[in-house]
Structure 1
């Protein structure tokens, strides 16, 4: 009996050690990553520390109870591609992402998201307050033509500030919208207005408002609409990446429809087209210096920044990694649809759409879902009393 109890205690220790090691890597990694997007002074060696600490995420892999076939396939494919990308570009970004994905295997996704919300929320609020107190700069950019002032509130650029707000609202809604629909609806309207009024981040504000609309729609929709939603939603990542490439590659400024759309998207199509013609795509990435505004109010002379996550990932990390990652997103969405996890499906859709106009898809300090591909998403089952009540009502 004592031996059985000892074995059970050992298994519990393994579970706790698995999570402990992962969070020892995850917490400092997203903290340093988040701080790098603010105007707080950041010693250069902090980035090296963040990547070095990922050794804990690697160690956590060996404390898992068992490895599934899916885990082994994802681990093998991403590890090989990550090494090949590193060989071609000297960039360890894919390897770092892979270690976090594997470390999060069979850890409760909700727990990871709650820790993410606390860290990013506190640091964003700190940057916001410090910028208003002139402790760090509140970079203000003037939009050409309109003269609108765009505030970044302690973050390196207004759209980066807006992206943090978008993802905080998205993941908070995933956890709590169902319990507090009225509060989150009011918050969503306010956040949308705030981003447009003070940062003029129209596209990010629009996708944030989309969170409110979609989550509220899920609350109110009937079974038929939800069934249709489950069939269509998993296609979102594939449609998003397809549209991004099609519109950029076929962009023609002489065509009025394209010109209007490009203007609406703040020049994203023309910049994407330019990059496609200049760099093309490789299998495992290439070294490209994308020059964009941020960190200073001085304008970049040769601006060539590509905002679309899909295009940028394809340029920097290669088309093979892009295909693998989008397929993993799609497979995760299919699993959510099978589980009837509508809120998680909504998150996938909104990330897919936002990634068409923003470059944060695989940055965990923005999009924490990027590392939750193998994490556990428990599906709540009805309690016996609830099931009995449903049968009685029928």
Structure 2
């Protein structure tokens, strides 16, 4: 009987993972909306607890998938053990399950079809985003408006103004990856107009710029892909690209560490980054860097935050991970993204490489580097954990490699 169950699992492995990920994504998505805020909705706290229990069930399911793959040697045992071990240690020391949960969701994706996964992700993410925005527009989910004087910022049914454009950014990247060179100019223009609308409502400049840039690069790649590929083939370009995760990390850490409030240059850069440098500098001064992680409660501006809360939020993924989750997790994250870029170059999937670079640039100012509930491209990091020599040839798909690994 066990053999028949195993055959059934192997036959439907992709769909089982996609189903579990959809549940996980649904719970994380709703947790980013105003529906869980008890100060607005009487059922908010109850809904939050319900979603938390559902997430625990999916985490256990992902763990079962990992254990099965581990026993069957489909995973490289030492690297997988080390990632889970340090993620677990970090979660224990920070008293936050987040890092370990991201590791479970990501590692369980080893060997799945990226063609199927990204098709499902696009449909699910875009549908949920449209539903929340629609319910917010008709008043069923509260849209909190922050008055900044020159321009208002709308939360659009989410906990903070950046959530909606952030989900939209990663959904657009998933669309552009899954349907590369298949979108018409009308579809691309429509996506850009939606991006403009979200910018007008939320005033999220950098996300708007990167989303616009991704759509523009899709057009450029479609027209001049051969010429662009020749650029990527140069050795110095390959070397530079593979080191971009480390470059972004060093910039994030040292720009905040060396920030000087008395310098005009630093003040200008801090203003350009909307006070991210001074916030990062203060966080380093107060908490320092940790090796394995430390408990920190980040207080930012979102629905439900108290006026008495001391603002200490760090937006940069690299800096936030290094301070709270630990330098070991930061190193693992950098290696993971270096692995994605190296694999993309090796497979000549330069469009994936370009998208990954956009994600890394965003994460200099936003905390989405290892947050797989926003960032689905993290699953490509499992290429370094896959122990199947020909897993990437399992079937044909995008760029002639449908399998994630």
**TM-score computed with the length of structure 2 as normaliser:** 0.84
43-52 or 280-289, which deviates more: 43-52
Alignment of 1:10-29 (within 5 A): 13-29=8-24
Residue of 70, 73, 76 corresponding to 1:67? 73
Match of 2:371, SS state, is: coil
Give the 3 Å change call, closer, same or farther, for CA 281–172 of structure 1 in structure 2.
same
Q: Find the aligned partners of 2:190 and 2:246 in 1 and give their Cα distance.
A: 30
Partner of 1:356 in structure 2?
364
* DSSP 3-state at the match of 2:277: helix
Quick check: 1:24–1:53 contact (8 Å CA) kept in 2? Answer: no
- After superposing the two structures, state which structure 1 stretch, 108-117 or 371-380, moved more: 371-380
Query: CA offset at residue 324 of structure 1?
Result: 0.7
User: Which residue among 68, 90, 93 is the counterpart of 1:88?
Assistant: 93
Q: Distance in 2 between matches of 1:213 and 1:236?
A: 21
Distance in 1 (alpha carbons) for counterparts of 2:82 and 2:359:
23
Q: Any unmatched runs of 5+ in structure 2?
A: 36-43, 384-390
Q: CA deviation at 1:341?
A: 0.3
Are the aligned partners of 2:106 and 2:372 in contact in 1 as well (CA < 8 Å)?
A: no
1:243 to 244, 247, 251: 251
Q: Secondary structure of 2:243's match? A: helix
- Give the corresponding residue for 2:387: none
Q: Which residue matches 2:341?
A: 333
Partner SS state of residue 249, structure 2? helix
- Specify the structure having the higher radius of gyration (Cα): 1
Q: SS in structure 2 opposite 1:150? A: strand
What is the CA distance between 1:336 and its match in structure 2? 0.5
- Give the 5 Å matches for 1:216-255: 216-221=219-224, 223-229=226-232, 231=238, 232-255=240-263
Match among 309, 321, 343 for residue 317 of structure 2: 309
**Within 5 Å, which residues of 2 pair with 1:65-214?**
66-67=72-73, 71-143=76-148, 146-214=149-217
- Cα deviation, residue 19, structure 1: 3.3
Alignment-derived partner of residue 276 in structure 1: 284
Q: Which runs of 5+ in 1 are unaligned?
A: 1-6, 383-394
In structure 2, distance between residues paired with 1:240 and 1:186: 30
Shift of residue 296 of structure 1? 4.0
Which residue of structure 2 lines up, in the alignment, with residue 389 of structure 1?
none
Question: Which stretch shifts more, 94-103 or 373-382?
Answer: 373-382
Residues 21 and 61 of structure 1: is their aligned pair in 2 closer, same or farther, counting only changes over 3 Å?
farther
Tell me how far 1:188 sits from its aligned partner: 4.5
CA distance in 1, matches of 2:30, 2:5: 37
